[in-house]
Structure 1
Amino acid sequence: MKRIAVLLLLWSTFALGGADSLFKMIYHLGGVEMLRVDFEGGGSQSIYSRSGQEIAVGASVEVLPFLHWENTIAVSLGYVDAANGYAMFSRFPFESQIFLQLWILRVGGGISYHMAPSFSCTFSNCGTHTVEAPQMGTTAEVGLAFDWESPYGEKMKLYFAYKYLQMTYIYDNVPIDASGGSFIMGAFFDWW
């Protein structure tokens, strides 16, 4: 039922007149350690709740000249590669946020729902494990968005932000606090 509500909300944003399409490329840092891989030769590498790469698509509606309603759905991956396999934490975040845009400053917040979060790895005795995200999370974000136009006329926003997500996952019937911050670097592409 939650997935249907998410898709209806995303579709309703596009259905509104004047919606701009968005494509975001985001790199998250930080969060809570979710998985650690120890290497045979020594050392380790961790996957955090907010680390990895994210590609998002969605729509932004200008409610007022300084107020934007944005809905995005994304693929987000945290990944560790080793000589004998890999480990990955994947999820599909949906976010609905309201942003106040004052010149280059963007301040906003909203809700986040992570669909199908799961751990998977190719190491021995690992396999794929489903992680539950039973509740909606909340977000708060502050950032700088710089308008830029290419020589070919495409408009782009270069974006640098800090986001805090409050979220809890359930893994093997144990709650895991997946709340944490992330530094976001990315770009918005608006097509008119």
Structure 2
Amino acid sequence: MSKKFKPYLWFSLHDMTPNITADKRVVYCHNPMMFYNMTKEERKKSFKLFLFSKFYKYIYKINIKKNNYVIVQQDWIREKFKKAFKIKNVIVAHPEVNLGNLKINKNIKIEKNSFLYPSFPRVFKNFEVICEATKILENKGIKNFKVYLTIDGSENLYSKEIAKKYNQLGCVKFIGLQPRVNLIKNMVVHL
């Protein structure tokens, strides 16, 4: 395809550097899993993810030096990429969220003291940290907030354990995986 269209820029958006022809080549590497050291307990809960973490560095490594730029989301990942692959052309591009295109009723206000954690349930996503912090606050009588988690226990074994362990917390709401527009709408209430 690249030989047919002869692109100036080939921007690979999903971690891998294809073997193509272009004047400029860029790859966006969004998954830091290869740098995560899973515990034995985490390996039991998510063996596929463990295998994924061990082999992902080999996927990244394929053709990575052929890129003019490698783009990552955080500075610590940039430093790890530079060291792991012996490259210097790593750029940090922080994600930008544009809510301007969402059609939200202007009479709806953001719920006070509400927090949203939009993430797929994987063992390295720290859902326990959020739930334990909520538990500590609730035990101290602080209950004037809501934490919305985009899991409900049906996604995988890990989410099932989290939902079961923390479903008694009144300030945690398990809303399940959501489309982007629903994430915003779940964070608002009529005043």
Greater RCO (Cα-Cα under 8 Å, separation 6 or more): 1
TM-score by length of 2: 0.21
More strand by share: 1
TM-score by length of 1: 0.21
More helix by share: 2
